[in-house]
């Protein structure tokens, strides 16, 4: 008979890996199904300077590798493939991966994180991966010495612009407002770079080019004036959305696709817990994802110990005798 894991974790970014570490440390059998490209957003990040414990900046992939090795040393098993189907309507729960591998578990921690948001304009599709990217660390080198644009005004946009400014001739940041959303330290660093230019209050209307990407058509949303910016590449950095498509119909999701949770980690199905960016549209930091991973594994362990759902307990404490 196929093995039934105590805790199966879907996702191997900071949330999933922390859940794996806490799960095995609680004496549970743990399998993490990490996706075809495990490690999450940090695999595409360079310097991480805000994860406690590292005096000097650590590279995102190195941080993920260390967390994974720690989980493996403690006894967690890994399988790297995308989960495409889940069945949470039976116990043990079941998941199926793209390679048609099926795994069963008594509890599941969903920690699949989020995916890049795109502008979703028709011309974007034409040049995706061929002039337009969402990942400067992956694709920036193709534009060495050239002029590029970054679209967005948050932390991601600043990080992309800073990274690209080391490789490219100029980086033009196009933002829809005249105030950045990014944290002050990143704003200051970007504004201090001489080859980063700024275009404010402007929306991208179209990505231009016949066969080859050649520029961005923008419109100032205050003056209505249209302009064309000639660039060889454009990086869309307008945030992320939860990668929860495969959970539709199985778990409660909100209108934007985030997993609905109560008591921090409990989903609409008892025994299924959520951690990281898929339940957090506010903080979205590696350290908060790791914290949620810890909570989810501890709650899965409590569930396995035969505890009633934490919410029931909390309800009774508050006088709810049902
Ligand atoms: P974000 O904070 O949501 O910022 C998205 C930016 O894109 C905003 O400036 C937004 O404009 C703009 N935008 C959104 N939709 C747009 C659209 N359709 N057209 C044009 N512009 C659009 O996303 P993020 O920068 O990816 O950051 C998300 C979270 O991840 C944050 O909590 C951030 O701190 C975290 N993060 C952390 C790190 C790290 O290393 N610690 C790195 C990257 C990101 P408005 O300003 O007008 O809303």
Ligand 1 pocket: which of 156, 161, 177, 276 to mutate (most atoms <8 Å of CB)? Answer: 156
- Report the predicted TM-score, pTM, of the whole model to 2 decimal places: 0.82
Distance 263 CA to ligand 1 centre (A): 27
Average confidence (pLDDT) per 10 residues, the chain, 322 residues: 93 97 98 89 84 95 96 98 95 96 97 93 91 91 97 96 97 98 97 98 97 96 97 96 93 95 96 95 91 98 77 58 43
Q: Does the N-terminal peptide bond of residue 92 adopt cis geometry, omega within 30 degrees of 0?
A: yes
pLDDT at 320: 52
**Residue owning the nearest CA to atom 4 of ligand 1:** 154
Distance 17 CA to ligand 1 centre (A): 24
**Residue owning the nearest CA to atom 35 of ligand 1:** 284
Residue 176: CB within 6 Å of ligand 1? yes
Distance 225 CA to ligand 1 centre (A): 25
Distance 180 CA to ligand 1 centre (A): 9
Residue labelled with tokens 């520029």: 215
What is the distance between the alpha carbons of residues 3 and 263, in angstroms, rounded to a whole number? Answer: 30
What is the distance between the alpha carbons of residues 273 and 266, in angstroms, rounded to a whole number? Answer: 5
**Residue owning the nearest CA to atom 34 of ligand 1:** 155
**DSSP H helical segments within the chain, as ranges?**
14-25, 60-74, 122-127, 136-139, 155-165, 184-192, 286-304, 310-317
Compute how many other C-beta atoms are within 10 angstroms of the C-beta atom of residue 144: 12
CA of 120: how far to CAs of 126, 174, 207, 242, in Å? 11, 16, 11, 16
pLDDT at 138: 85
Catalytic residue positions, numbered = 135, 138-139
Residue 308: CB within 6 Å of ligand 1? no
pLDDT at 321: 46
Instruction: Give SS3 for 259.
Output: strand
Question: Which residues are within 8 A (CB) of 60 and not within 5 positions of it... i.e. 6 or more apart?
Answer: 39, 41, 42, 43, 44, 45, 46, 48
Residue 201: CB within 6 Å of ligand 1? no
Residue 153: CB within 6 Å of ligand 1? yes
Distance 239 CA to ligand 1 centre (A): 4
Closest atom of ligand 1 to 240 CA is 26
Residue 187: CB within 6 Å of ligand 1? no
pLDDT at 163: 95
pLDDT at 111: 97
Residue 240: CB within 6 Å of ligand 1? yes
């Amino acid at each position: 008979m196929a093995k039934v894991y105590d805790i199966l974790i879907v996702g191997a970014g900071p949330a999933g890996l922390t859940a794996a570490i806490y799960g095995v440390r609680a004496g549970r059998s743990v399998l993490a199904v990490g996706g075809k490209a495990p490690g999450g957003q940090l695999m595409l990040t360079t310097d991480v300077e805000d994860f406690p414990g590292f005096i000097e900046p650590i590279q995102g992939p190195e941080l993920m590798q260390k967390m994974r090795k720690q989980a493996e040393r403690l006894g967690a098993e890994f399988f790297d493939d995308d989960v495409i189907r889940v069945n949470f309507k039976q116990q043990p729960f079941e998941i199926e991966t793209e390679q048609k591998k099926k795994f069963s578990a008594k509890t599941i921690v969903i920690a699949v994180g989020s995916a890049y948001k795109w502008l979703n304009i028709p011309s974007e599709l034409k040049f995706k991966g061929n002039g337009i990217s969402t990942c400067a660390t992956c694709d920036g080198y193709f534009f060495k010495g050239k002029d590029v644009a970054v679209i967005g005004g948050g932390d991601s946009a600043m990080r992309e612009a800073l990274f690209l400014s080391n490789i490219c001739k100029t980086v033009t940041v196009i933002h829809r407002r005249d105030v950045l959303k990014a944290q002050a330290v990143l704003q200051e660093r970007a504004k201090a770079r001489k080859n980063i230019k700024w275009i404010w209050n402007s929306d991208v209307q179209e990505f231009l080019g016949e066969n080859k990407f050649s520029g961005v058509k923008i419109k100032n949303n205050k003056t209505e004036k249209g302009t064309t910016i000639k660039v060889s590449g454009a990086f869309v950095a307008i945030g992320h959305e939860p990668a929860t498509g495969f959970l539709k119909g199985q778990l409660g999701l909100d209108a934007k696709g985030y997993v609905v949770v109560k008591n921090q980690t409990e989903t609409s199905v008892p025994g299924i817990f959520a951690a990281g960016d898929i339940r957090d549209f506010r903080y979205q930091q590696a350290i908060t994802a790791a914290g949620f991973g810890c909570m989810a594994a501890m709650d899965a362990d409590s569930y396995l110990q035969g505890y009633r759902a934490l919410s029931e307990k909390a309800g009774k404490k508050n006088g709810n005798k049902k």
